[in-house]
Chain A
């Protein structure tokens, strides 16, 4: 075990923030967690003894990474296109 591992991201720059990336990576997770949670809390429903809003938050443990992964791909492809522009 070393301080560093096999993955080498050192040469990769962080993509610039774009509006679509911000919407998918920040706006959507906040809407999903807060909006979805509040909407389900108002229903006061329970599934297998567990309140629905809690089940929703548990589901968000996977939905939020999905949003961030999509955001990462959006940013990477936008950066790739920007890098190619002068060549074209």
Chain B
């Protein structure tokens, strides 16, 4: 029954992906990667939500609560929640910049606004590198689900099939496939988590019987560095979530900036699934169950409380979560390589180049997914430290200031070096997140640099460096 429901969910996703092509076959690279900026409020809502909550969130939140207690929950929920107010102000304005310069990637903004090839390459390296672990992380999460359900399918076969499915979605209709499938995925995830959470509450007889919630760290925060670290990490990551390369790419799919802004108002309501995930972690902690690893907490609760068919539904939802995120990351990574790193090709060549990049990325991710390599874990830890360093450059562009690229390049390099240096040396000045220190230094360098040159407003678009003319 489990497997039948799981296969039904996967088949439904394939049908939806085919339908998305039937209605709108991608004509050119812009249509393939950002749907020619035609998505309305509903698709943007589900695409953005779908890309925020990965299989890592579903498995990681209960795992963090189980091992690190409430401090983890405060940080994890805090930064996601606060990314919505940040996005409320930033997203529509980034969209406007994207329209002005006909952008597909975040690097396009930097290339066109600052007219600098060096800055464009630096931004690609600063973003593409940190996207690499996402593929392996999704496959590693998928293997946790399969292992807990006791399916006798070799991990490599399962991840290989999932990677093939992701590639098929992307080749079928580009960004439209994950956007349309994310509607199914988001509905399934909420259904699965609410069912699991309710079953866990029922099994604990909550709230009639109050379980003992003792922090595993004897009342500490569960995170190093205390309050300063938690607060600085929440601020850093709430900004980083809004300017991540895949998030920016999704903004360009929207038809209007007001749609993006209005969506931000209601997005926090989707987080109402987290109390149910919390209950599942609470159930595992109080039931005396011993998961093989913290990442198994969610599936231990699912397997202990839900019937066969519901477990199949959960597995299907988890698989779609992994694949939608994977497709989104692929569609962000592909053009960063084929358009920004190797420019000068025709529209068709860019599209093919991106598809080849995506195929290679998926193969590498499948091979690495079985055992997350040390390098990927390090890159994942550095994700927000690196990606958030784009913020000063984007904000200067949003302020319509036309300044040379040198201060932005200097700020980016300083921010990266300081943030990563402090991270590797395990130094946290004043208990702050190393990425936040890097961001402050980055912003100071940019501010110092641009205040020395007379900036001019550029409400009229300047000459864009065309991808094909370079």
User: Which residues of A approach B to under 8 Å, CB–CB?
Assistant: 1-5, 7, 9-14, 17, 22, 25-26, 29-30, 33-34, 37-38, 41, 44, 46, 48-51, 53-54, 57-58, 60-62, 64-65, 67-69, 71-72
The answer for the CA separation of A54 and B81 in the assembled complex, in Å, is 13
Task: Enumerate chain A residues within 8 angstroms of B213, measured Cβ to Cβ.
Answer: 46, 49-51
**Residue in B39, B212, B265, B282 whose beta carbon sits within 8 Å of that of A72 in the complex:** B265
Given A4, A25, A51, which contacts B40 in the complex, CB threshold below 8 Å? Answer: A4
Name the distance in Å between B270's Cβ and chain A's nearest Cβ.
Answer: 9
Bound Cα distance from A57 to B35, whole angstroms: 35
Contact A7 B180 (CB under 8 A): no
Residue of B nearest to A27 (CB): B85
Whether the pair B212, A68 counts as a contact (CB closer than 8 A) is no
- Most B C-beta atoms less than 10 A away, residue of A25, A51, A54: A54
Query: CB within 8 A of B89: which of A5, A22, A60, A69?
Result: A22
A64 touches B268 (CB 8 A): yes
Q: Are A71 and B88 in contact (CB under 8 A)?
A: yes
Do B210 and A49 have beta carbons less than 8 Å apart?
yes
11 A–B pairs (Cβ distance < 8 Å), ordered by A: A1-B23, A2-B40, A3-B43, A25-B89, A41-B74, A57-B81, A58-B272, A61-B81, A62-B268, A64-B81, A71-B88
Whether B282 contacts A49 by the Cβ 8 Å rule is yes
Cα distance, A7 to B254, chains bound together (Å):
13
Binds A, one of B109-117, B256-264, B344-352, B402-410: B256-264
- A64 contacts which of B70, B85, B221, B231 (Cβ < 8 Å)? B85
Closest to A22 in B: B89
Q: Which chain B residues border A60 with CB–CB below 8 Å?
A: 81, 268
The reply on B269 being an interface residue by CB < 8 A is yes
Most B C-beta atoms less than 10 A away, residue of A46, A57, A58:
A57
Q: Contact between B93 and A1 (Cβ–Cβ < 8 Å)?
A: no
B6 within 8 A of A: no
Q: Provide the residues of chain B in CB contact with A11, threshold 8 Å.
A: 256
Q: How many residues of B contact A (CB 8 A)?
A: 61
Contacts of B40 in A (CB 8 A): 2-5, 7
The answer on a CB contact under 8 Å between B180 and A1 is: yes
CA distance A14 to B263 in the complex (A): 13
For residues 23 through 47 of chain B, which have their beta carbon under 8 Å from a beta carbon of chain A? 23-24, 35, 38-43
B261 to chain A: which residues have CB within 8 Å? 14, 72
Closest 4 CB pairs of A and B: A4-B40, A9-B258, A5-B40, A51-B70
- Name the residue on B nearest A41 (C-beta): B74
Instruction: State which residues 59-105 of B face A: CB under 8 Å.
Output: 69-71, 73-74, 77-78, 81-82, 84-86, 88-89, 92-93, 96
How far apart sit A37 and B180, CA to CA, in the bound complex (Å)? Answer: 36
Question: A49 to chain B: which residues have CB within 8 Å?
Answer: 206-207, 210-213, 282, 286
Give the residues in chain A near B39, CB-CB below 8 Å: 3-4
Residues on the B chain within 8 Å of A30, using CB: 82, 85, 235
Q: How far, in whole Å, are A41 and B78 apart by their CA atoms in the complex?
A: 13
Closest CB of chain B to A68's CB: distance in Å?
A: 4
Confirm or deny: B278 has a beta carbon within 8 angstroms of a beta carbon on chain A: yes
Q: Give the shortest distance, in Å, between B55 (CB) and chain A (any CB).
A: 21
Cα distance A64–B219 when bound, in Å? Answer: 28
Q: Is the CB of A58 within 8 A of B275?
A: yes
Report the nearest A residue to B42, measured CB to CB. A5
Known: A3-B39, A13-B258, A37-B78. A48 touches B206 (CB 8 A): yes
B107 to chain A, nearest CB (A): 24
Tell me the bound Cα distance from A57 to B268 in angstroms.
Answer: 11
Distance of A38 Cα from B73 Cα, bound (Å): 12
| Chain A CB within 8 A of B311 CB | no
> Assuming A49-B207, A57-B81, what are 18 further A-B pairs, CB within 8 angstroms?
A1-B19, A7-B41, A7-B259, A14-B96, A14-B261, A48-B206, A49-B211, A50-B278, A51-B70, A53-B70, A54-B70, A54-B73, A57-B78, A58-B77, A58-B274, A60-B81, A64-B81, A65-B265
Question: Does the CB pair B86–A26 fall under 8 Å?
Answer: yes
- Considering only CB atoms, which chain B residue lies closest to A5 in the complex? B40
